[in-house]
């Protein structure tokens, strides 16, 4: 069995993980950066199309405090103000640092070009043309990681459990995907940068490897999760016709640049009926648009595939080409001509506001354990503002890296503490179609734990998770062998079921509607619920506690 | 209609075998859609590599389709026999998976500790 010793272990090599690795190494620490996929290729950052929010406008045009105000307003009273402030205040520096690394932000002369995304009070969202923000950010960070001394990188390493010694996290057990064998990693500090949980839902906009495993790692290590009921659905995910080789959230940049018209199945504008008329400008926030589209579909006014129409037919071809040049050709290759046809869109799981509870040093409260990026909860409250996710990844990654580096050198790993997890990785279980079980989990979550929830639906989802848990064998199917997705799915189910239960229980408890959490049986915000819910894992299972929103 | 995916399978050092999987064909599907259907409905242990599903962002799903290099997520499934094989110029891991990570990001190359290579 391969064993590693490092000062700082970073789990996940998306935007947050790579930022954390760079910051930790610059602070003098020796870093091991892992990803379950390939370094800088998996996760959500590479999938981001646009945009990145930060108050980077010319002097006098914007200030981080305005960005902060908008972030808190979008969070519907549940943001941790200090975390939101950190995101907004350090955001501009992170964006300029990326500019210095030649990420290629779109510019107007000396200034970065910015668009005004819904929920922002002014143009504040920078981007890389065309639909290339995420790939450019990933590629740039990947290059810096490679050039920074002190960072070892390892792909195809799926961390299945954190190891604890006397209450502190002292390392991790991972599955080496290539061989199927375990890896043992000792670390003075561990940073969870595994992103969100969108893979729990059948239709989602992120990579296949985001089942929420980082949340489960944190829970099992004794950390608390917060705001788990708040899953953001992206309202206009591509639905039809079938489009390949393009990210389903690609229509967002089209909306920023060209407006576009959202129409119901009858071809009528409908947002005004929900109090959010657009007049060819893209102003409606994600939670409201998701609500309006879902309600139209439920009322029998959906598009044929069960969503809404998005129309750019009023936009001249020359304007389309100027705004999206090469993308128009990629659409043509898919048989889509926006000057002649509308496309169908529908809400799609996109981002998780909730996550691991941390302080402004990204410390979880469990000694040696930190978190960064989407894995963190609190900065975005009940609803995330467009453009805050990459900023959050970059800023929280830097902070987590510095904090982790300050822990110094660690002691060698206690192998006794690692033994239970090693038993799982080396275990030989009965045959089981884990891919089918995972699809059932995704279907149950999509049906009953989507943007609109009822007590009956949530209880049905809880039953579905319990049934899956009863069906899943105690060990992964078959014997360890190279690149076995069936065994990987077993580990994803083990973690994903725990995280799904955390979402469902938090959603059941919150008997009101707020931001991304809408209860059909409890419509409207209730001032009595202006609080967060924290979840921990104990001997008796998950425990939920209400907590006052941080001051 | 049916798309037949004739997939080269096996481990390094053993003669490869071809297995046919019949996948329900819907116009517009990608080859990756077909491979994922096989895992859910026929053989969860089939090995292939992918991450971003649909966006051609991760570039991990590269393989040989009818002898030509392509991405499973952008090649369309067709209602005929399609032959899938691992990349021929990379080390085979299993089935359609090859070692595509840069050498210094792979387990057999990286050092166990920060100071020098593993003893």
Contact A138, A195 (CB under 8 A): no
Q: Would the CB atoms of B28 and A244 count as touching at under 8 Å? A: yes
pLDDT of residue A131: 80
Neighbours of B62 (CB within 10 A): 19
pLDDT score of B118 more than 60: no
Q: Do A247 and B113 touch (CB under 8 A)?
A: no
Greatest Cα pair distance, chain B, in angstroms, is 59
CB A388 within 8 A of CB A118: no
- Encoded tokens for A215: 């949340």
Token pair listed for B89: 């110029």
Cβ of A41 within 8 Å of Cβ of B51? The answer is yes
Nearest CA in chain B to A47: B57
Q: Is the peptide bond before A51 cis (omega within 30 degrees of 0)?
A: yes
Given a cut of 60, is residue B117 above it in pLDDT?
no
**Which residue shows structure tokens 């639906």?**
A457
Give A255→chain B minimum CA distance, Å: 19
Contact call for residues A85 and A72 (beta carbons, < 8 A): no
- Give the pTM: 0.95
Q: Which domains does chain B have, with CATH numbers?
A: 2-111 (3.10.20.30)
How confident is the model at residue A130, as a pLDDT? 77
In A333-352, which positions are buried (b, 16+ CB within 10 angstroms) versus exposed (e)? Answer: ebebebeeebbbbbbbbbbb
- Residues of chain A in contact with residue B36, where contact means CB-CB under 8 angstroms, are 435
Contact B54/A176, CB-based, under 8 Å? no
**Facing residue for A241 by CB, picked from B28, B36, B55:** B28
pLDDT score for A278: 64
Q: Which residue has the tokens 């990188």?
A: A153
- When CB atoms are compared, the residue of B39, B51, B102 closest to A209 is B51
Mean pLDDT, to the nearest integer, of B65-88?
96
Query: Among A410, A255, A51, A163, which Cα is nearest to B113's?
Result: A410
pLDDT at B116 over 50: no
Catalytic residues of A: 286
Reported as type and span, the H/E element at residue A30 is none
Give CA–CA dist A10/A370, Å, rounded: 9
Q: Which two tokens stand for residue B56?
A: 């051609």
| Cβ contacts of A37 on chain B, cutoff 8 Å | 51, 58, 60
Q: Could you tell me how many helices (H) and strands (E) chain A has, helices first?
A: 13, 22
Rounded CA gap, A166 and B13, in Å? 46
Q: Between the CA of residue A487 and those of A175, A431, A474, B96, what are the distances in Å?
A: 10, 10, 12, 17
pLDDT score at A163: 97
Per-residue pLDDT of chain A (551 residues; tens, 9 = 90+): 899 999 999 999 999 999 999 999 999 999 999 999 999 987 889 888 778 999 999 989 999 999 999 999 999 999 999 999 999 999 999 999 999 999 999 999 999 999 998 899 999 999 998 788 999 999 999 999 999 999 999 999 999 999 999 899 999 999 999 999 999 999 999 999 999 999 999 888 777 889 999 999 999 999 999 999 999 998 999 999 988 878 888 888 888 788 889 999 999 999 888 876 666 666 677 778 888 999 899 899 999 999 999 999 999 999 999 988 888 988 998 889 999 999 999 999 999 999 999 999 999 999 999 999 999 999 999 999 989 999 999 999 999 999 999 998 877 888 899 999 999 999 999 999 999 999 999 999 999 999 899 999 999 999 999 999 999 999 999 999 999 999 999 999 999 999 999 999 999 999 999 999 999 999 999 999 999 999 999 999 999 999 999 98
When CB atoms are compared, the residue of B28, B39, B41 closest to A242 is B28
Question: Residue A416 gets which letter from DSSP?
Answer: H
> For chain B, how many helices (H) and strands (E)?
1, 7
**Do A155 and B106 make contact, defined as CB atoms within 8 angstroms?**
yes
The pLDDT of residue A420 is 96
């Amino acid at each position: 069995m391969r064993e590693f010793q490092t000062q700082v272990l970073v789990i996940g090599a998306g935007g947050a993980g790579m930022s954390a690795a760079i910051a930790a190494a610059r602070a003098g620490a020796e870093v091991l950066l892992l990803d379950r996929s390939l370094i800088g290729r998996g996760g959500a950052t590479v999938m981001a199309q646009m945009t990145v929010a930060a108050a980077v406008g010319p002097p006098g045009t914007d200030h981080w405090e305005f960005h902060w105000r908008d972030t808190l307003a979008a969070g519907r009273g549940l943001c941790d103000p200090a975390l939101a402030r950190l995101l907004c205040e350090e955001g501009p520096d992170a964006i300029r640092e990326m500019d210095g690394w030649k990420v290629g932000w779109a510019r107007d002369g000396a200034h970065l070009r910015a668009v005004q995304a819904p929920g922002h009070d002014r143009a504040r969202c920078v981007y890389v043309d065309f639909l290339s923000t995420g790939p450019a950010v990933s590629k740039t960070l990947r290059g810096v990681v490679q050039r920074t001394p002190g960072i070892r990188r390892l792909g195809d390493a799926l961390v299945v459990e954190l190891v604890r010694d006397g209450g502190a996290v002292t390392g991790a057990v991972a599955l080496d995907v290539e061989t199927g064998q375990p890896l043992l990693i000792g670390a003075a500090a561990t940073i969870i940068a595994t992103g969100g949980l969108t893979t729990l839902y059948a239709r989602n906009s992120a990579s296949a490897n985001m089942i929420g495993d980082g949340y489960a790692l944190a829970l099992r290590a004794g950390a608390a999760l917060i705001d788990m009921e708040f899953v953001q659905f992206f309202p206009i995910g591509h639905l039809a016709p079938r489009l390949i080789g393009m990210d389903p959230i690609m229509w967002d940049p089209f909306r920023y640049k060209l407006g576009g018209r959202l129409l119901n199945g009858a071809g009528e504008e409908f947002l005004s009926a929900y109090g959010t008329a657009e007049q060819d400008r893209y102003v409606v926030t994600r939670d409201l648009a998701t609500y309006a589209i879902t309600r139209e579909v439920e009322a029998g006014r959906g598009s044929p595939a069960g969503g809404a129409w998005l129309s750019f037919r009023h936009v001249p071809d020359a304007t389309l080409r100027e705004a999206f040049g090469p993308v128009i050709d990629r659409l043509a290759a898919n048989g889509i001509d926006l000057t002649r046809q509308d496309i169908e869109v529908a809400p799609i799981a996109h981002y998780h506001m909730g996550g691991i509870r941390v302080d402004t040093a990204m410390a979880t409260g469990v000694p040696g354990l930190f978190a960064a990026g989407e894995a963190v909860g609190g900065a975005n409250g009940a609803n995330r503002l467009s453009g805050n996710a990459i900023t959050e990844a970059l800023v929280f990654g830097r902070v987590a890296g510095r904090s982790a580096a300050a822990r110094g050198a660690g002691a060698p790993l206690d192998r006794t503490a690692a033994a239970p997890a090693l038993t799982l990785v080396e275990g030989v279980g009965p045959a089981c179609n884990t891919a089918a079980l995972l699809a059932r989990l995704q279907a149950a979550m999509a049906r009953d734990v989507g943007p609109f929830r009822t007590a009956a639906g949530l209880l049905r989802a809880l039953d579905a998770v319990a049934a899956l848990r009863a069906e899943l064998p105690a060990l992964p199917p078959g014997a360890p062998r190279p690149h076995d997705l069936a065994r990987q799915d077993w580990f994803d189910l083990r973690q994903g079921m725990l995280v799904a239960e955390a979402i469902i229980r938090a959603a059941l408890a919150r008997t009101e509607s707020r931001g991304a959490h809408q209860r059909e049986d409890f419509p409207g915000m209730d001032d009595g619920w202006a609080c967060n819910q924290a979840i921990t894992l104990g001997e008796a299972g998950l425990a939920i506690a209400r907590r006052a929103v941080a001051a | 209609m049916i798309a037949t995916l004739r997939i080269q399978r096996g481990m390094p050092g053993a003669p490869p075998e071809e297995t046919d999987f019949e996948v329900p064909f819907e116009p517009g599907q990608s080859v990756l859609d077909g491979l994922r259907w096989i895992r859910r409905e026929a053989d969860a242990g089939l090995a292939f590599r992918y991450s971003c599903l649909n966006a051609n962002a991760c570039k991990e799903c590269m393989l040989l389709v009818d002898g030509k290099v392509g991405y499973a997520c952008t090649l369309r499934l067709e209602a005929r026999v399609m032959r899938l094989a691992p990349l021929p110029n990379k080390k085979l891991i299993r089935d359609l998976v090859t070692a595509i990570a840069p050498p210094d990001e792979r387990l057999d190359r990286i050092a166990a500790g920060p100071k020098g290579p593993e003893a």
